[in-house]
Amino acid sequence: MSFLKSIGARATLLLIMFVVVGCACSSSKVQTDMSYRQKVLRSFYPSLTKITRFFGVKTDVKLPSQKTIPPVSIYEYAFEGIGGDTLKINHYAGKKLVIVNTASDCGYTGQYEELQKLYQQEKDKIVIIGFPANDFKEQEKGSNEAIAAFCKKNYGVDFPLASKSVVVKGSKQHPIFQWLSDPSKNGWNGRDPVWNFSKYIIDEKGNLIGYFDPGVSPLSQEFLNVLNTPQS
């Protein structure tokens, strides 16, 4: 009987998780101020992280089996900033890069707060670049202007944000995410984002050294262990 109760409790928690994560798909636009749903999602985020880790949902981590020099340099790439300016990746050479696809209407949107905290603590050593994307359940419908205002007002984000992009594999995938998810370019990883807030770490020399599913917090020890890998 206790086993059945345990299974029932797990099923209930899993159902709650999928309802909360997926409920944002009906959003018609992103606003500067949080909607009621966004406030609920933000408050639920700590519980969501615990639930996903308990069930092993969206918590995958991929690391290279050995040090790999990418066949194509990430420093050859550039991206359009959310304000329309062109930003070159080679500008950040010598620092670790955290590249993450983001969304304003997702159960993981609360991760903006963790990313900003990490950036504030380590901005002399790392750069975080957020790529807003509407690829998962249409959870980023807003304009670049609305996204920038939302992130700044509600989470204090001051790390670089790109113009809204496509991050999943296909003809419209952003070139940087093509590099991140193509072993013939980055040297080993073929994983493109599985959901909003998938994260990639690139070291000071431009080597991809880790991929992390959305359920892995950027403040978790497993993430920080890779982020703090000594430069070789």
DSSP 199: E
DSSP 58: S
Question: What six digits make up the tokens of 193?
Answer: 């984002």
DSSP 197: T
| Long-range Cβ pairs for the range 90-96 (8 Å, 24+) | 92/127, 93/204, 93/205, 93/206, 94/204, 95/125, 95/126, 95/127, 95/204, 96/125, 96/126, 96/127, 96/201, 96/202, 96/203, 96/204, 96/227
The C-alpha angle with vertex 147 and arms to 44 and 97, in degrees rounded to 5, equals: 80
Angle between helices 111-122 and 144-155 (to 10 degrees): 70
The reply to whether 25 belongs to the active site is no
How far apart CA 148 and CA 156 sit, in angstroms, is 10
SS3 142: coil
CA dihedral 23, 220, 218, 68 (to 10 degrees): -120
Write down the catalytic residue from 23, 25, 106, 151: 106
User: Catalytic amino acids?
Assistant: 106
